[in-house]
Amino acid sequence: MSSTPKKRPKSKHNSYSKNSSLNSILEPPQSLFPSKGEFLRLITVLAIASAVALSCNYFLTFFTSTSKPFCDSNLDPIDSFSDSCEPCPSNGKCYEGKLECIYGYRRHGKLCIEDRDIDETAKKLSESVEAGLCEAYAQVLCYGTGTVWVRENDIWNDLDRHNLMQNVGSDHTTYVYMKRRAMETIAKLLETRANLHGLHEFKCPDALAEHYKPLTCRFRELVSKHSLIIMLICAGLIGCAVLFLKVRQRMYISARAEELYNQVCDMLEENALGSKNVDGEGESWVVASWLRDHLLLPRERKDPQLWKKVEELVQDDSRVDRYPKLVKGESKVVWEWQVEGSLSSSGRRKKGEGIELKSNEGINTNINQSSRTLKTVDLQALGDCVP
């Protein structure tokens, strides 16, 4: 019987040693990567190197470009783009490699830019001329007097008398250039034409002249343009005002008539009661015109509607009798309070306390004086009537 050889089990120690050796082969050594401090030093070195490289490039480019001469202005445009010279900028003149800006411009690096002082002065001169022409044309549009078209030579000569030109000094070139710049700006802003003699003339545009019209002219044009609407509005306002005044006057007359009516009732009632208390010797009636003159103010006597309203209220009152009577030989309308069977008017007096009345003392005094006067007049009238 053959015996089968037994396999020996693998040792755990041998497998662990094999794995550790494999990991040591795959993992990189720690010395391969720089430390944190070394990494920061590397970044610092790179930054310094980049800054030095950029600075050197800038200075090299600057000195190289400035060292190049400018191409002459009279060269062919194709030749001006060569590497041996810089192209001559606009508004500049180049000769023998040097740049010179034309008048009114100043050099700024490789360019020629406008001189701000000259440009501002020319702009102010053009604005002054524009204002003068537009104001004159606005006078023509409003009042029909003034100048419309102005010759170029007249404007050129007027610039010499401007205050801004006095500050230019004795430099004739600057003086002429500034006037020329101002005239160029004026030609762009205003309307131009050539007259019969071939001379240029300038005029303010109509749209621009509207802004130079005085306020009185604008107001007059507005009224004339919308005259119909303004008339209708004014008529409506006047009508409303008249209607308001009439309604107010009517309300005042109504309230004042009621006030006077209450006073008339009080006086008639007191006069009637007083005549009964003196053994029938007094008269119970009162002349209506005397009451009117006694109660109305002087300015109220000029308005007949007020007392007419009072008469209407008295006529509608059944407690008051109205009849004509001969007083001192003249026919008068008298009012008399019906004492028998009539109610007292004290309720009306309380109702009318809220209305503005004359002072009570003045009313009582006037009533007493009126009663004495009526008694005297009645006695005289009776004596005249008796043959």
* pLDDT band (50, 70, 90) for residue 245: very high
What residues make up the domain containing 191? 116-213
Are residue 136 and residue 165 in the same domain, yes or no? yes
Instruction: Tell whether 275 is covered by a domain.
Output: yes
Q: Quote the CA–CA distance of 273 and 192 in Å, as a whole number.
A: 102
Which DSSP state fits 249?
H
The strands making up 150-151's β-sheet, listed across from edge to edge, are 150-151, 200-203, 191-194
- The confidence band for 274, taking pLDDT boundaries of 50, 70 and 90, is confident
Please indicate, yes or no, if residue 358 is contained in any of the structural domains: no
Please count the CA atoms within 13 angstroms of the CA of 107 that sit on its side-chain side.
11
Per-residue pLDDT at 364: 47
Query: What's the number of domains the chain is made of?
Result: 3
Residue 102 lies in a domain: yes
Instruction: Tell whether 75 and 157 lie within a shared domain.
Output: no
What tens digit of pLDDT does each residue of 321-380 get? 888 988 888 888 889 888 665 555 554 444 444 444 443 444 445 445 544 544 444 434
Tell me the C-alpha distance between 343 and 337, whole Å.
11
pLDDT of residue 381: 39
Domain identity same for 204 and 267: no
**92 with 180, same domain?**
no
Asked whether residue 103 falls in the same domain as residue 130, the answer is no
Q: Are residues 140 and 94 in the same domain?
A: no
Based on the domain organization, do 206 and 125 belong to the same domain?
A: yes
Q: List all residues 6 or more positions away from 103 whose beta carbon is below 8 Å from its beta carbon.
A: 173, 174, 177
Cα distance between residue 265 and residue 271, in whole Å: 10
126 and 207 co-located in one domain: yes
Mean pLDDT of the chain: 75
Q: Are 370 and 294 in contact (CB under 8 A)?
A: yes
104 and 144 fall within a common domain: no
Would 34 be classed as within a structural domain? no
Helices (H), 144-280: 152-160, 172-189, 206-209, 215-225, 227-276
Q: What is the DSSP string of 157-190?
A: HHHHTSGGGGGS-S-HHHHHHHHHHHHHHHHHHS
Whether residue 179 is contained in a domain is answered as yes
Specify whether 103 is located in the same domain as 144: no
3-state DSSP call for residue 366?
helix
Identify whether residues 79 and 141 lie together within a single domain: no
Give the end of a domain, one of 86, 113, 140.
Answer: 113
**At which of 162, 194, 213 does a domain end?**
213
Question: Which pLDDT does position 252 carry in this prediction?
Answer: 92
In a domain, 129, yes or no: yes
**pLDDT (tens digit per residue) in 82-120:** 667 777 877 778 877 787 777 667 777 777 777 777 778
Query: For position 193, which CATH number holds?
Result: 1.10.10
Q: Are residues 302 and 327 in the same domain?
A: yes
The answer to whether residues 287 and 333 touch, using CB atoms and an 8 Å cutoff, is yes
Task: Tell me: pLDDT of 196 over 60.
Answer: yes
Q: For residue 264, give the nearest of 292, 303, 223 by alpha carbon.
A: 292
Is the pTM of the predicted complex or chain greater than 0.85? no
Residue 81 lies in a domain: yes
Specify the length of the chain in residues.
387
Which range of 71-80, 105-114, 118-127 scores highest in mean pLDDT? It is 118-127
